[in-house]
Each structure stands twice: as C-alpha cells, then as structure tokens.
Structure 1
C-alpha cells in the first residue's frame, strides 16, 4: 500500500532528514527511516550538532579519546562531526550508487564563523571533504556575499556543494551563477563534470515567520489576508527561476558536457505557526527534481496525514508574483526581510557553534579530570 512519503518520492521529491546524531546511526534509527519513510539523504548544521552532542548520548567514549589525545574543542568537534557524517554516508551509499549520485547524500557545514571569509571557507570546505572522504558527502556553504566566490572555487575543485541560507530570488540567481562558473572552471581544468553535484537550499518557514510578523503589525484586513503566503510564493518563484536559468544556453552547454542540474532544496520546512497545517511546506512545494529536507516531526506528520496531490508548483507562478505585488502594496519590504533573515541565520548558527564549542570544551575537561 502506498504511503504519503512514497507518493512524494513518486512525484519527484527527494526526502532528506534534517537531523543527524550518533544515536540515530548506532541504534539503526536512520536505516529504519530509509526503509519506512523514504528518506534518501541527510542534512546537518551547527544547531543540529549542538543538540546531538550536548545531549551526550553516544559521544562519551569518543570525547574521552579526544581528551586523552589532548585535543582542543575545535579539533574534537571536527573529529566527532566528520565521523558521524562519514558513518551516515556509508549507510546511504547504496542509495547513492542506485541513483548515480543524485541522492544518498549527507551534508556537513563549514564553520559559520567563516561565513564572511571566502578564503577560509574554501580551505575549510576542502578540509571537510578530505576528512569525510566519501563521494556522497555534500559540503554546505552559506549563500552570503563572501560565500558566492567560495562556492565557485569549491565546485571548480570537483567538490559537491549544498548551498545553504538562501532567502531571496536575487541571491538565488547569484548562487546559480556561482555554480555555473564553478562548472565552467572545472571543465577547463578537465574535471569530470558528472561527478559534481549541488543543491540550492531555499529557506521557507522563516520567510513566513518574519513577513507574518510585519503583516500583523500593519494590521489591515488586506495585510492579514496575506499571512502564511509569502514563504510558499517565494519558493515557487525560486523554482520558476530554476527552470528558466537551467534551460538557457549557458547551462545547457554544461549539461551537454555531462554536468548535473543544481536541484532546488526546500529547507526550514517545519511549520512554526500552529494556525497553519503542519505539512504545508511539503504538500504545497511538490515539484519534480526537488529536495525537501524535513525535521523528523514534519517527516512523521507527512507520513501520517500528508496529502500529496502531484505537482503543486508548476503553473502557480502568476499567482505567486501576485502575492509579491500584494505584499509590496501592503507595505512589506521583501528585500529588507530576506537580508534580515540571512543575517539572523548566520548569527544563529554562529551562536549554536559557540555553544557547541563550550559544551565540548566542558566535556573534554571532565573527561581529562576523570583520567587523572
């Protein structure tokens, strides 16, 4: 019998879990989600690792070993996270092989402290790629202004990239340019283009959270009627841009040479507003060749009661442009919204990263004390 997650997969959407921990790996939970929930990939970020490692479960021995070796907190974090990602890559390897590298992917992010430093981002991306040492790893690089040239350089080196923290259509267009430029440089260096993959992670629910707050402050009937519409319209217009840009001559020349499309990925798909359906950012963003990376709560809600009615994106572009026009008429500055969200996104990941550094430093001290 078909399930909503199977229906979603059949509609061309790859389901990736937005979570990873050593406990998920060692208990078989990750394998179970692959087998029962159609999960074909995993994404991580500093907040996810902060939650996993601060919980402590499954990391005690590894932290003790790091303490015995005299590791710093940053060294220990690098070792712990790359080990988790490597082990997850091994679990997903059969899917990677079966899909010719499209799915079976596990993402790991460069330190958010480097979000505004191009050279340091490139160096960290290469270091993470070498440490994980698996063909199905994706290195996450934020779509900040400093991140864009880093994306190009890392792609040019033949490393697959998950571009994260995309909020605006303008920045998404620049991300596509960065990817295509990287492919062109890779081709010039005789790097095999078919081995390079990329996804562009467009954040959804955070757009609604900020826009709806502004609409509530405006308070008119016209403004309030637009609540809950911005995030989906933004993502749908991103898909329109994806279709347009990858159909043009520049992209098609690269595809003809063996390059892969950079797939749109819907991130931040957990619904924050209890007044909205908990599967909203899944059922309303069904389109072929996309990825939806879900927190487990959203994944289970989709499996339980998601209604997948085929493609809900193609053909909605005029209505989505109208939502943007109506938001502007109501007094919402979307450019200001998306820049604020990018800044906040980087800051939140930096805060999580610093919390993780403190958590691991404390655990290393405790483990070293126990050794004495």
Structure 2
C-alpha cells in the first residue's frame, strides 16, 4: 500500500484528517497546500502553543512586525493581527475544500485567549471579535469546555458563530458540551439564524489521558495496575462516541436536524503518542469511525501515511468493553474524577503559559523592530 493510500483509506472511512499546526512558513512555502493536495488534509487547528512556536522561529513575521511597530501597536493588538492574518490566509487556502464539502470541512480553528477560560462574558466577547476580525465563513472559534466555557459555547453558537469546543477530557463533561450545543442551536434558531450555516466540533483529548493515568498506574505499581497501562485514553474516546450516538438519537436533535442543523462532530485531539513504547499511530488506528475528525501533528500524520493500520470502524459497538476498562481502573485504585480535573486544569494552564510566551516573544520582536526603526 502506497504512503498516502493509508490516509486515503482513513478519509474513505469517514474520518476528516486535519493538521494540528499552522505557521506562516507553512503557508508561504506551499507546505500546507501540498498537504491538502497530497495528504488528504481538509482542515487545520491552532492553539496558543502552536502560535508561540511559530512566532519564535524564522523570519516569516518580520515585515509585519516592523509594520506593527511603526504603527505603535501594543503587544495584544500585534498578537491578534499576526495570528488572525495566518488564520485568514489558511481559510482562503481551504476555501475549495469548504465549498466542496458543503461547509463541513475546510475549517481553520483559532482559540480565544486562554486567560479567559474561566470567564463566560469575556469569552463570548472575544469569540465574536475573532469571528469578525478573521471574517471568513470557514473558521471555527475555539472555546474550552470549562464550566464557565459551557454557557459561552451556547451564547456564541446562538450568535450564529461556528465553534470548536476544546479541552474535553471526560465523558460527563462531553455530555454537557452536547447539551450546550443543543441550547445554542435552539437559541440561534429563535434568533433567526440559518442553522445550516453553523458548524461545530467537540475536541476530545486523547493522549493526555493515557499520560496521566499511566503515571498513576505506575505509582500504584501492582500487577493489576501495570496491566492497565495504555488502556484509558482509547476506552475514554470510545465511551465518548457512545454518548455522541445516544445524544444524537434523541428527540431534541431530531427537531434541530429537521430545522437544517448539522451534527456537532466528535474530534480526536492530542493524537500524538507521548509514550515511545506505544505504536505512534495507535490514536489513529483505534479511533476510526465515520463522521469524526482526527487532528494530527505532522509527525503523526507522516507515521499514519507510512504504517497506519486502517481496517474499518474501530469504535462503534465497543462501549461495554471500554466501560470494563474504567471499572478495572477504579478497582485498581485510580480516581478517575481527579484525573479529569487535573487534566482540565493542566490544559488551561498550559495554554495560558503558551499565551504568555507568545506575548513575550512578540513584545521582544516589537521592541527590536522599534529599535531598528
């Protein structure tokens, strides 16, 4: 099987392949265009960590930074302009995919300032601002699924804005995300928005769950505990998919679908494997199911193109087996609720830290551009 045939098979199995990375370098060099052309890539996700990395490297942003410095832009305005420029250009590059898939794919995600993750009102305001600034129909505004994020998700969708809900770790929180999605669409309909024009994905994080649970299993050190390493993340995602099936088979969804709504697709995020002992394509191979998205770092995408084992649906009907994994984890002494709480707090903190690094980098670059002025 040729390299891209494996990605073609994944795509044919109904999984949308998105790249978990964006930089001006990728846009300018033609790298992103070639991934769309040759690797079946139909979308891009960004986050503060990705932008912090992109801006810290290379010279692609220098001319725009000089211009911003000359205009006396402050660091927040500069970051907004630099990141939204990349997202706008990427959205234009994906416009044909967007049109060709009827608006389902061809999407580029941009995240609200993670410092607002615990502030509903400010998240809603920032989401509206990003939507207006990028001004492309094929973007997603990313909002974290914190408790304060849930009403922000509803209010943003109610305004007719497409949302990528991020940082979902537990099935319980995922159910609340689906409810927030239903609330948002019902309000959008009442507000006179055409539901067919609103899209959403729910980003369910995968590898971080294994990393955290494995660490705790190793600390327990019993044979029972050690035998469960590497089981939690895939089981968790399969239980999430079962929740998706159940919720989207209900009457609330039937009424929204009748009104032209699109389902909120499950998106597998954080699919780069953290443990070198595990197959580097396991979070691709084990999560194949139609109507989902897998957003991959390029390294994972290359590994999948080279040796992914795509053998049809590996998710549907696996919920009972997945539940047994969680029962075993509990009986081995793992506090699952605490795992998810830890992961959410760490996730918000990590993006917050990256955002601070991004501001720091850009401030340094603005200062040096002014000095050279």
Q: CA deviation at 1:123?
A: 0.4
Correspondence for 2:371 among 352, 369, 372:
369
CA distance in 1, matches of 2:5, 2:225: 37
In structure 2, the residue corresponding to 1:141 is in which secondary structure? strand
CA distance in 2, matches of 1:269, 1:72: 35
In structure 2, the residue corresponding to 1:124 is in which secondary structure? helix
CA distance in 1, matches of 2:337, 2:103: 35
TM-score normalised by L of structure 1: 0.99
Alignment of 1:1-372 (within 5 A): 3-371=5-373
TM-score normalised by L of structure 2: 0.99
Gaps spanning 5+ residues in structure 2: where? none
Q: CA deviation at 1:349?
A: 0.4
Q: CA deviation at 1:9?
A: 0.2
Q: CA deviation at 1:316?
A: 1.0
CA distance in 2, matches of 1:126, 1:56: 31
CA distance in 1, matches of 2:349, 2:223: 34
CA distance in 2, matches of 1:23, 1:77: 17
In structure 2, the residue corresponding to 1:215 is in which secondary structure? helix
In structure 2, the residue corresponding to 1:183 is in which secondary structure? helix
In structure 2, the residue corresponding to 1:214 is in which secondary structure? helix
Gaps spanning 5+ residues in structure 1: where? none
Q: CA deviation at 1:27?
A: 0.7
Q: CA deviation at 1:56?
A: 3.6
Q: CA deviation at 1:190?
A: 1.4
Q: Could you list the per-position Cα deviations for residues 122-175 of structure 1 after superposition, in whole angstroms to 9, with x for gaps in the alignment?
A: 000000000100000000000001100000000000000000000001100010
Equivalent residue pairs, number: 371
4+ aligned runs moved over 6 Å, structure 1? none
CA distance in 2, matches of 1:223, 1:184: 45
In structure 2, the residue corresponding to 1:8 is in which secondary structure? helix
CA distance in 1, matches of 2:246, 2:192: 27
CA distance in 2, matches of 1:81, 1:355: 14
Q: CA deviation at 1:35?
A: 1.0
Q: Could you list the per-position Cα deviations for residues 36-66 of structure 1 after superposition, in whole angstroms to 9, with x for gaps in the alignment?
A: 1110000000000000001143000010000
In structure 1, the residue corresponding to 2:94 is in which secondary structure? helix
Q: Provide the alpha-carbon RMSD of the alignment.
A: 0.7
CA distance in 1, matches of 2:142, 2:367: 30
CA distance in 1, matches of 2:340, 2:55: 31
Q: Could you list the per-position Cα deviations for residues 234-272 of structure 1 after superposition, in whole angstroms to 9, with x for gaps in the alignment?
A: 000000000000110001110111001000000000000
